[in-house]
Each structure stands twice: as structure tokens, then as C-alpha cells.
Structure 1
Amino acid sequence: MPELLGAALEGEKAFNANCSSCHGTNASGKDGFAPPLVHKIYEPSHHSDMSFVLAVKQGVRQHHWPYGNMPPIAGVSDQEIADIIIYVRTLQRANGIQ
């Protein structure tokens, strides 16, 4: 686990409050329920930061994983989304996903 500072630390808090129930601790996923975000599929060149923003705001139709559609997540502020993205990208880099 990388050391989290600033926005990444705030992102961890927002992730734990809004995302971890589906995407697991440290964005590691929940088998049979939701995919890991610390995965090559979600590297920045394949899923831009905007794809995360849209996923939270509008939801996502199932396309990479057999877990069903992701609903929009209500009540997450733009700042929280930005911090969550920084947190996830920090975890990805710590795991060699560039």
C-alpha cells in the first residue's frame, strides 16, 4: 500500500464511503459482484479519468466484466470524485499500472 497524502488520502476516505462496498478494499474488487479498479483494464490509456466521472454520475453498462450494470452513485461531489480518481490512480501506479 502506497503512502497516501493530500487528495489521495481524501480520495481513500471518499472511496471507502461510496465505492468500497462494491469495488472492495483498496479497489481490489469483490469476486462475483464488482471488478477491481486496480487492474490493467482501467489503466489511464484505456479508461480516462472522465470515464470514472461518468461512471459515478451516469452509471455504466456492463462491458468488461459479468457483474451487471453499475448504477449511478448519488451524493458524491465533484471534488470527491476527483479525489477518488487520484486515490485509484495512486493504487494503480503502486501496482505497476501506468
Structure 2
Amino acid sequence: MAIEILKDFEEYLIKEGKMQKTIISYTGDVKMFLDYLKDKGIAFNGNLNRFYITSYKDHLLKENYTISTINKKINSLNAFNQFLILNGLCHERVLAPNKDKIKIAK
């Protein structure tokens, strides 16, 4: 089911008029997230939850991804969350970009 959802997400981005580079970036980030869930034994059915996001973000930090890369992935997942809500697969916003992005020291 996750593969079909990813394909539908890509079609949604195309219909939304996103640039090709953005589509590749968003779908790549979401695929990486779905692969993470699969590795954890979670069969993704479209119902996103907060625990998935926070554990994934912790995983990225442990893997030494840069803050800007993590924030980009969070942004992609935010777009994915919106898509899931629009398609009735998820019933709430589980991502809050202002809260979930990692603050960069100035």
C-alpha cells in the first residue's frame, strides 16, 4: 500500500504544479521515511502519527544528518501529511513545521 500512496503523492504534486526538482526531493524524502518505517516493522497504511515523525527525526539526528537536511525532510513530510489528510487517509495534522523543525543557532 505504501508504494501506491507514494505514487499518488507524486501525482498530487504534479497536479499542484510543483517543479520537477521539488517533486523528486519530496518523493525521495517520503520514500526514505517509508523505508525507515518498514525497517522498524511498521506497515504504513496512510495513517501518519506523531510518534513516527519524532522517532524518524531522532534517527536522522543519530545518523548525523545536517540540521538543514533534517528540516528539509520535515518540510517534505509536512506536504505528505497535507496530502494524506486531503485524501482521507490521515485525519489530523501531526506535523507542525514551526515546532518540528530543528532550530538553527544564530
TM-score band w.r.t. shorter chain: 0.3 to 0.5
Name the one with the larger helix percent: 2
Task: Give 1 or 2 for the bigger CA radius of gyration.
Answer: 2
Instruction: Give the TM-score normalised by structure 2.
Output: 0.41
